[in-house]
């Protein structure tokens, strides 16, 4: 009986209380960078002031260069100082249009540097990050990169890429006697170093995602060999002698294997090598050219280019079932596919109508998109977070001349293009993971 | 028996009351959410306050000076009319005065009549204008009321263009997380409450359970920043349809942002 009464009341009341809420879908927005304000970290003496300035500059440059943030100039600030313990005056900061506010303090004690910083969401009036970092004072640049990565991750949701390096081939000299040396540089163009002396040619360097190691192809005494260079010790080892030509070695995600293509009797196939046992495992067997393999981040698949359909196209192989599936069907020749570290996209080079393109597509071949085109562009490599692509390009000059190769970086959206400033010409970039 | 009935009535009334108005009436003012911040809040020193005040004052002064710059120029002296033109006119008048007076005598009567009619019409216009000026506001109010009545008659639902106006407003405030992974999974729903002035006074995320995913968390924060954006704090909505838009569900969908 009681239940009946309740049912009666509910059936009587619910229609009265029912509200029809207005639903509006927002499918567009602006793609402008997020405005952020970065205050100089609080300091107490001149040494700390210099470190504060330097860190502010590196963090600002990193965020600005990413294309996702626009760092507001100091002249827009109503106040250039904010105590680390204080809550910002949000109405004042809203006037500057800043959506994020970064401030902090640092203490230099002999050779130790302690940094505390906060990130505020100005519009929501919430603290997003509060962290303390300590290191040696000489390491201030890396700590600035780490701070940039923390801010980037907190706002975009994905890990940053600022604390990373790019290994590349530095080129110098005339065409007839071109010197190709292995070199390394921070992603922001700082801390450049040559890794080989130029007495032999170095090609196609690849960073190990698991260790500070670089595998590269060398033509020492005209014999192609794969070398592995330990960046911490400087020690190099030869990864065995391979009969015939060897191309494009690439590490597995755990760094325990290398996948490469070997040419034997005019036939190029893909092989996997266990770095511990140095045993080769053949992955493809086809009377044509299978080359440029790259692992998926889970290590279960590889993508590679092949001419098995009559023209260069991109394929994906399931390493467990050995099933091969073609994924590129567009016009033109597709080459050098590279799986994104976040697993959703494959970057590639495409040649069509006398021009080269750098593009991306989903791993099933859908959603093909061009992010850059030029007279010659090649060798895409992903930033550790899969958000930025680096490659090298050459443009056509007057009288049939071609410009020297330069390394470029572009955001996945294809909007934010910049050149990596290197001491000489550069090609074949390979991006490291985040530094340990 | 009567006591039992009374108790039953009170109990049912109470339940009914709760269903109608919800438990929210027992809560305090919900417009503001207080976030705990692990900080010792220190009073801002007088110097800092003075600095901000000074800057604001300076800005005000600048604004005032700007206003002066744009104000219309003051008339100090009126330019004299050109003398030759006046003389010529006078001469002409003197020469032709007598001849014309004779010729125009019959016309004068006509002109007088015309003048009278013109004056009458002018007076009519003047009175009409006066009454127009006086009743302009009333008329506007009447027109507005008529429009409102029309709007009400047209139905409580917002028209497509009214919905689009709200949408367009958020387009400006929302920075899309373009280039993020799996954009299709990053659809964020925000429930907002709007007061009669069109001001958003409460905003709540609907799918809070997904906040563990850093991508979703970033996407939801970008949506919340759009809702809290100063340019989107006051919505462009038709006042008379308040009941329609006092509660709005906003669905931020970044999946089409790269198209």
For residue B236, name the pLDDT band (cuts at 50, 70, 90).
Answer: confident
Q: What is the pLDDT of residues A61-104, one digit of tens each?
A: 999 999 899 999 999 998 888 999 889 999 999 999 999 999 99
Q: What is the pLDDT of residue B10?
A: 84
Per-residue pLDDT at B49 exceeds 60 = no
User: What average pLDDT does the segment A277-297 reach?
Assistant: 91
Distance CA B159, CA B164 (A): 9
pLDDT cut 90: percent of chain A above it: 66
- Give residue A245's pLDDT: 63
Q: Is residue A315 a contact partner of residue A304, using CB atoms and an 8 Å limit?
A: yes
Q: Flag whether pLDDT at B136 surpasses 80.
A: no
Average pLDDT value over all residues in chain A: 89
Q: Which residue of A has its CA nearest to B224?
A: A124
pLDDT at B7 over 90: no
**Interchain CB distance below 8 Å, B225 and A86:** no
Whether the Cβ atoms of residue A97 and residue A116 lie closer than 8 Å to each other = no
Task: Give the nearest partner residue to A29 out of B12, B52, B171, using CB atoms.
Answer: B171
How near does any CA of chain A get to the CA of B243, in Å?
9
Grade residue A17 by pLDDT with cuts at 50, 70 and 90. very low
Chain A: give the shortest CA distance to residue B2, in Å: 19
- From the CA of B170, how many Å to the nearest CA of chain A? 7
Nearest to A136 by CA among A103, A157, A107, A111: A111
pLDDT one-digit tens code per residue, A372-428? 999 999 999 999 999 999 999 999 888 888 899 999 999 888 888 999 999 999 999
Q: Which of A356-373 are b and which e, b meaning 16 or more Cβ less than 10 Å from the residue's Cβ?
A: bbbbbbebebeebeebbb
Gap from B121 CA to chain A (nearest CA, Å): 54
A156 contacts chain B (CB < 8 A): yes
Of all residues in chain A, the one with the smallest CA distance to B52 is: A78
**pLDDT tens column, A330-388:** 999 999 999 999 999 999 999 998 899 999 999 999 999 999 999 999 999 999 999 99
| Cα atoms in the Cβ-side hemisphere of radius 13 Å centred on B217 | 11
pLDDT exceeds 90 at position B16: no
Greater pLDDT, B178 or A73? A73
Residue B180: the pLDDT is 76
Query: What is the nearest CA distance from B176 to chain A, expressed in angstroms?
Result: 5
Give chain A's end-to-end CA distance (angstroms, integer): 70
Say yes or no to pLDDT of A113 above 70: yes
Distance from CA of B62 to the nearest CA of A (A): 15
Reported as a pLDDT band with limits 50, 70 and 90, residue B130 is very low
Q: Hey, is the C-beta of B170 within 8 angstroms of any chain A C-beta?
A: yes
Structural tokens at position B86: 């006046």
Least confident of A21-30, B18-27, B217-226: B18-27
Mutate to test the interface with A, among B33, B181, B189, B242 (most CBs of A within 10 A): B181
Which chain B residue lies closest to A342 (C-alpha atoms)? B181
Number of residues assigned to chain B? 259
Residue A402: predicted pLDDT: 87
Distance from CA of B247 to the nearest CA of A (A): 6
Query: Which residue in B42, B179, B221 is closest to A83 by CB distance?
Result: B42
Instruction: Name the average pLDDT for chain B.
Output: 66
- Give chain A positions within 8 Å (CB) of B38: 127, 130
Average pLDDT over residues A257-263: 89
**pLDDT for B74 beyond 60:** no
**What are the tens digits of pLDDT across the range A47-57?**
999 999 999 99
A7 touches chain B (CB under 8 A): no
Nearest to B211 by CA among B220, B198, B202, B200: B220
Give the model's pLDDT for residue B113.
Answer: 58
Residue B84: band (very low, low, confident or very high) from pLDDT cuts 50, 70, 90 = very low
A86 to chain B, any CB pair closer than 8 A? The answer is: yes
CA A197 to chain centre: 27
For residue A21, the model assigns a pLDDT of 77
Contacts of B254 in chain A (CB under 8 A): 29
Q: Which letter does DSSP use for residue A330 in this model? A: S
Which of A331-345, A356-370, B96-110, B233-247 shows the lowest mean pLDDT across its residues?
B96-110
Query: Is B42 near chain A, with CB under 8 Å?
Result: yes
Closest by Cβ to B55, choosing from A78, A127, A411: A78
Does B257 contact A31 at a Cβ distance shorter than 8 Å? yes
pLDDT at residue B114, rounded to an integer: 54
Residue of A6, A17, A26 for testing the chain B interface, max B β-carbons within 10 Å: A26
Q: Could A28 and B256 be called an inter-chain contact, meaning their C-beta atoms sit closer than 8 Å?
A: yes
**B11 contacts chain A (CB < 8 A):** no
Q: What is the rounded CA–CA span in Å between residue A60 and residue A37?
A: 9
* B14: phi then psi, degrees, rounded to nearest 5: -60, -45
Higher-pLDDT residue of B134 and A206 is: A206
CA-CA-CA-CA dihedral for B36, B42, B46, B51, to nearest 10: -50
Q: Is any Cβ of chain B less than 8 angstroms from the Cβ of A387?
A: yes
User: Mind telling me how many Å the CA of B254 is from chain A's nearest CA?
Assistant: 6
A199-222 pLDDT per residue, tens: 888 989 999 987 789 999 887 777
Task: Extract the tokens encoding A436.
Answer: 């340990």
Confidence of residue A192 (pLDDT cuts 50, 70, 90): very high
Per-residue model confidence (pLDDT) at position B89: 45
Position B25 pLDDT exceeds 90: no
CB contact under 8 A, B38 and A342: no
Alpha carbons within 13 angstroms on the beta-carbon side of residue A46 total: 0
Q: Which residues of B touch A16 (CB under 8 A)?
A: 19-20
Q: Which residue has 């000076």 as its token pair?
A: B65
Q: What is the pLDDT of residues A135-155, one digit of tens each?
A: 999 999 999 999 999 999 999
Indicate the length of chain A as a whole number: 436
Which pLDDT score, from 0 to 100, does residue B98 have?
54
Picking from B22, B170, B217, the nearest residue to A157 by CB comes out as: B217
Report yes or no: B23 at the A interface, CB cutoff 8 Å.
no
Which residues, at least 6 apart from A29, have a Cβ–Cβ distance to it below 8 Å?
B170, B171, B173, B174, B175, B176, B226, B252, B254, B257
Is the Cβ pair B249, A86 closer than 8 Å?
A: no
CB contact under 8 A, B42 and A121: no
């Amino acid at each position: 009986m009681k239940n009946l009464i309740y049912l009666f009341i509910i059936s009587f009341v619910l229609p009265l209380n029912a509200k029809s809420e207005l639903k509006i879908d927002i499918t567009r927005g602006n793609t402008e960078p997020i405005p952020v304000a970065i205050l100089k970290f609080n300091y107490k003496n001149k040494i700390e002031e210099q470190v504060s300035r330097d860190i502010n500059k590196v963090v600002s440059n990193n965020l600005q260069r990413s294309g996702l943030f626009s760092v507001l100039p100091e002249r827009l600030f109503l106040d250039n100082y904010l105590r680390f313990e204080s809550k910002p005056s949000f109405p004042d900061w809203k006037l500057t249009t800043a959506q994020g506010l970064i401030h902090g303090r640092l203490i230099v004690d002999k050779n130790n540097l302690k940094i505390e910083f906060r990130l505020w969401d100005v519009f929501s009036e919430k603290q997003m990050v509060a962290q303390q970092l300590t290191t040696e004072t000489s390491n201030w640049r890396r700590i600035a990169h780490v701070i940039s990565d923390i801010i980037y991750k907190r706002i975009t949701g994905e890990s940053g890429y600022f604390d990373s390096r790019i290994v590349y081939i530095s080129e110098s000299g005339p065409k007839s006697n071109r010197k190709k040396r292995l070199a390394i540089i921070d992603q922001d163009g700082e801390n450049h170093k040559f890794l080989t002396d130029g007495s032999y040619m170095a090609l196609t360097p690849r960073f190990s995602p698991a260790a500070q190691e670089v595998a590269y192809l060398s033509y020492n005494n005209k014999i192609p060999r794969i070398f592995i260079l330990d960046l911490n010790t400087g020690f190099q080892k030869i990864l065995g002698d391979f009969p015939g030509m060897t191309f494009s070695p690439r590490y597995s995600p755990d760094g325990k294997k290398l996948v490469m293509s070997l040419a034997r009797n005019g036939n190029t196939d893909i092989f996997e090598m266990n770095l511990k046992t140095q045993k080769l495992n053949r992955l493809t067997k086809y009377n044509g050219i299978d080359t440029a393999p790259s692992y998926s981040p889970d290590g279960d698949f590889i993508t590679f280019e092949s001419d098995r359909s009559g023209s260069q196209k991109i394929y994906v192989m399931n390493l467990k079932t050995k099933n091969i599936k073609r994924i590129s069907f567009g016009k033109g020749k597709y080459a050098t596919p590279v799986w994104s570290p976040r697993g959703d996209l494959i970057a590639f080079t495409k040649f069509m109508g006398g021009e080269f393109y750098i593009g991306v597509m989903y791993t099933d071949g859908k959603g093909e998109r061009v992010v850059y085109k030029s007279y010659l562009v090649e060798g895409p490599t992903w930033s550790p977070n899969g958000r930025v692509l680096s490659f090298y390009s050459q443009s056509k000059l007057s009288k049939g001349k071609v410009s020297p190769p330069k390394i470029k970086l572009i955001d996945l959206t294809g909007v934010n293009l910049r050149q990596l400033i290197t001491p000489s010409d550069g090609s074949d970039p390979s991006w490291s993971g985040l530094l340990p | 028996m009567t006591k039992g009935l009374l108790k039953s009535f009170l109990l049912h009334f109470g339940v009914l009351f709760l269903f109608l108005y919800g438990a929210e009436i027992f809560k305090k003012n919900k417009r503001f959410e207080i976030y705990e911040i692990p900080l010792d809040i220190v009073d801002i020193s007088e110097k800092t306050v003075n600095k901000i005040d000074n800057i604001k004052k300076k800005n005000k002064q600048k604004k005032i000076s700007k206003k002066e710059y744009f104000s219309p120029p003051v008339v100090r002296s009126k330019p004299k009319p050109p003398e030759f033109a006046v003389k010529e006119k006078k001469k002409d008048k003197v020469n032709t005065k007598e001849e014309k007076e004779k010729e125009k005598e019959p016309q004068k009567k006509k002109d007088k009549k015309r003048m009278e009619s013109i004056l009458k019409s002018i007076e009519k216009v003047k009175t009409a204008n006066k009454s127009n000026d006086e009743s302009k506001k009333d008329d506007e109010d009447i027109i507005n009321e008529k429009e409102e009545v029309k709007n009400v008659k047209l139905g409580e639902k917002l028209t497509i263009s009214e919905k689009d106006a709200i949408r367009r407003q958020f387009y400006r405030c929302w920075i899309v997380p373009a280039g993020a992974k799996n954009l299709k999974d990053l659809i964020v729903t925000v429930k907002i409450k709007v007061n009669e002035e069109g001001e958003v006074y409460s905003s709540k995320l609907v799918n809070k359970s997904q906040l563990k995913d850093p991508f979703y968390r970033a996407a939801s924060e970008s949506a919340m920043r759009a809702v809290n954006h100063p340019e989107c704090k006051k919505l462009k909505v038709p006042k008379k349809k308040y009941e329609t838009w006092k509660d709005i569900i906003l669905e931020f969908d970044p999946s089409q942002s790269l198209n």
